[in-house]
Structure 1
Amino acid sequence: MNSFDSCPAMETAMLSQIDVFHDCFDQVEDPRVPGRTTHPLNSILFLVVAATIADADGPEEIECFGNERLDWLSRFADFPHGIPSHDTIGRVLSLIKPEQFQQALLDWHTQLCQQYRDAEDKLDRDEEQSLPIHVAIDGKTARGSYTNAEKSNAIHFVSAWASKHGVTLGQTEVDSKTNEITAIDELLDFIDVRGTIITLDAIGAQKSIAEKIHRNGGDYIFAIKDNHPKLANAIREHFELVHEEGLKANGVKSKKTVGKKSGRQEERFYAVCPIPPEMKAMTDLWAGATSIGQAITQTERNGECHVEVRYFLLSRPARVGEFAISVRSHWSVESMHWVLDVVFHDDASRIRTKNATANFTFIRRYVTTLLKQDTTKRSLKQKRKKAGWNTDFLEKLMFSA
């Protein structure tokens, strides 16, 4: 007996969610020759999503999962000729457009969240929408995607990560003929930046990117380093001066936190202030620039002390609490990259076709979101394994938000 047999209402709700899945994935164009396809595209994509959640890494394991769970899969999608081969799965993922696949996954997740909100009706929508959403943009290389002996042509992606919500909003491949700056610019065309605070490392701190974010209704916090030497020196010299003369006397808001993590003592100091008059001529070239910030991290472990000082340019008002949260939250994207490597073996994957690499990389990010939304006290690895063993748990991960 499955979970639906004893709960008709749950079965009706699940069928509605299945319809939502197919509606969202209908926007993915089928690149195969019409009339010469054996397996429906949506069925293949449903199989890929379910199998990836259930601890399958790559086309061969997806095919194996499908053959073991064909009866369960057939409740949600059509498999008139059985499970497609791993060659078919890999070929389809190498042909479909990554931006369409990403949008379908994001739309599906949005629809599931909306259904949950409508059912619970507990959120104050106006208050929620007034709060800025932190989005960290950062790059990651799919290290196993190289095709030459030097391993120098591995594919690199830039992704946008909504840290609080744990959702990847989109990713763009870095074209070897261009660079990461161009990829960031393209990624900003894909996502809606309204009501967000975009944080970027120094490589993304560009006047053109600041202008695009500001023009489209977003805000930014840019790390400023030696790629902008005059601005970096001006910010550094200003904070050195105000530390000597007094922070409050110079209108600087500051915050200090102390904590212990993984056997090391961490002390973090944050300071932010409006752009001083003597820097206006320089910062006016950056659309929306309003404030400058400083973050000092002092880490002590095994008697050794390491100090890192970073400087920032902001389009937000000088609010030290918001600044501290945004700067600290940016590194959550690094945690997500660690998850991709450890839980999904992303760096070990030898999928090398560009579209396939992009599609598999994004679906791993998407599945990470689903796994983290489950609040049971298990590791992400354990959740994936349980989803492979227990289809009720797999359904919960797929159809709950």
Structure 2
Amino acid sequence: MEIENIFDYFNDIKIISNHDGYFYSVKEALKILLLGLLCGRKNIREIHEWATEDIIKEKLRKEFGIEKIPCYYWLTCLLKLINIDSLNECFMNMAEALIKEYGTEKPLTIAIDGKTIRSTDKMSSYESPLHIVSAQVAEFGITLAQKCVKGKTNEIPTVQALIKTLNIKGHIIVADALNCQKETAKIIKEGKGDYLLSVKGKQPLLKTDIEEYVQDEILRKQMETACKSEKNRERVEKRTAFCTTNLGWMDNTDEWEGLSCIGAIHSEFKSKKGKSDEWHYYISSRKLTAQQLLDIARKEWVVETMHWLLDVHFREDFCRLLDKNLQQALNIGRKVALNLVSRYKQKNAPKSSLSHIMFKALMDISFIKKILQN
């Protein structure tokens, strides 16, 4: 994917109303936004101050063909005009192109979860906090798509709608217990994908059935087992997975489309503070081995890591933009920037941190071309 191709994705962006600016375009505003984010600028104010520095302004003109930098007011006005659905479609097309670059035909793991932008929780301009559901390809750390919901109470139907927009054929969806829903499982199977769903209190009868089976020592000994231990400083975690495709004893398995496997993971923690443990239960439409369950279940956390990176690198939870459209546009821009920097890191600088790569872009704007190119 070359520089021109990346910015060409912006050609299809639609706007919600016409504007009177003859010297500036929405596409150029998006270019400035993305370039600033690639340099680690945290908000639109920082991006504008960076772009209006004389040296940077000249570099943007020579390197990226940006002839004029709008004032801060005009920059925000242009970004507010973006039709978010068209921007999200542009984002998805760009992400799919990035995935194709890896050239893999192996089944991938798509982790789905939601995040609330905390600063919107107490802002009167929002009827409810801005909550955004994202889908990420775990193997590459590439965010694939996102969808905005009105408060977390509507996350379930939003996740279902998001899944319908994805090409999940042959891939496996992992999601938390909130999204362990019969309709969600059905939608995934209709898309010719598979699911691994965490089971908790949202499905009490299902959880009880699996829990009683797994906690029966005789039955547990008949399940396939895999174990892995990890040490992080003074904390040792041992994870043991139990898996079975023997579901003949279960009632109403046909209510869960394609259900082929149940499993559990027992996590034991040991540190200076003492010992603790917890159990997690799962259902899957794929006949998993215990080792596969151990690996795929852990990948659910990659989307949480992406949410953490949004806060670490861009301080997203402190973003107090009053305009919802602008918040969403900036959220998508951050994810595009993370996708591009993550790809550069994996291909060219595996030992460098994301923050170091963005700092290099800040110090030398020509370096951004290396991030944007193959």
TM-score, normalised to structure 2, is 0.91
8 Å contact from structure 1 (residues 253, 318) kept in 2: no
- The alignment status of 1:72 with 2:42, answered yes or no, reads no
- The alignment status of 1:86 with 2:64, answered yes or no, reads no
How far apart, in 2, do the equivalents of 1:84 and 1:364 lie? 21
Residues 211-252 of structure 1 deviation map (CA, whole Å, 9 limit, x = unaligned): 1000011110011111111110000111112x33452xx3x2
Q: Match of 1:216?
A: 191
Structure 2 counterpart of 1:270, one-letter code? A
Look up the SS of the partner of 2:317 in the other structure. Answer: coil
Q: Match of 2:329?
A: 359
Q: Match of 2:317?
A: 347
8 Å contact from structure 1 (residues 200, 221) kept in 2: yes
8 Å contact from structure 1 (residues 293, 313) kept in 2: yes
Between 1:371-380 and 1:200-209, the stretch displaced more is 371-380
Q: Match of 2:277?
A: 307
Q: What is the RMSD computed on CA atoms of the aligned residues? A: 2.4
Q: Match of 1:46?
A: 31
8 Å contact from structure 2 (residues 125, 322) kept in 1: no
Look up the SS of the partner of 1:39 in the other structure. Answer: coil
Distance 1:29 1:75, change over 3 A: farther
How far apart, in 2, do the equivalents of 1:282 and 1:83 lie? 62
Distance 1:269 1:53, change over 3 A: same
Distance 1:376 1:132, change over 3 A: closer
Structure 2 counterpart of 1:173, one-letter code? C
8 Å contact from structure 2 (residues 134, 303) kept in 1: no
How far apart, in 2, do the equivalents of 1:43 and 1:49 lie? 10
Q: Match of 1:26?
A: 11
Residues 57-89 of structure 1 deviation map (CA, whole Å, 9 limit, x = unaligned): 222111122223222222455444x20122222
How far apart, in 2, do the equivalents of 1:22 and 1:246 lie? 55
How far apart, in 1, do the equivalents of 2:99 and 2:175 lie? 27
- The alignment status of 1:104 with 2:117, answered yes or no, reads no
Distance 1:86 1:132, change over 3 A: same
Structure 1 counterpart of 2:296, one-letter code? S
What are structure 2's unaligned runs of at least 5 residues? Answer: none
Look up the SS of the partner of 2:264 in the other structure. Answer: strand
How far apart, in 2, do the equivalents of 1:307 and 1:240 lie? 14
- The alignment status of 1:134 with 2:134, answered yes or no, reads no
8 Å contact from structure 1 (residues 258, 268) kept in 2: yes
8 Å contact from structure 2 (residues 265, 281) kept in 1: yes
Look up the SS of the partner of 2:259 in the other structure. Answer: coil
Look up the SS of the partner of 1:276 in the other structure. Answer: coil
Give the Å deviation of 1:380.
Answer: 2.2
Residues 272-313 of structure 1 deviation map (CA, whole Å, 9 limit, x = unaligned): 11142121x322101111100101111111141121101011
Give the Å deviation of 1:34.
Answer: 5.8
Give the Å deviation of 1:151.
Answer: 9.2
How far apart, in 2, do the equivalents of 1:191 and 1:38 lie? 37
How far apart, in 2, do the equivalents of 1:113 and 1:134 lie? 12
8 Å contact from structure 2 (residues 243, 289) kept in 1: yes
- The alignment status of 1:397 with 2:367, answered yes or no, reads no
What are structure 1's unaligned runs of at least 5 residues? Answer: 1-15, 118-122
8 Å contact from structure 1 (residues 146, 352) kept in 2: no
Distance 1:296 1:147, change over 3 A: same
Look up the SS of the partner of 1:316 in the other structure. Answer: coil
Residues 94-117 of structure 1 deviation map (CA, whole Å, 9 limit, x = unaligned): 331223223323433544665x67
Give the Å deviation of 1:47.
Answer: 1.1
How far apart, in 2, do the equivalents of 1:224 and 1:258 lie? 23
Of all paired residues, the percent bearing the same amino acid is 25
How far apart, in 2, do the equivalents of 1:152 and 1:349 lie? 17
How far apart, in 2, do the equivalents of 1:36 and 1:343 lie? 32
Look up the SS of the partner of 2:40 in the other structure. Answer: coil
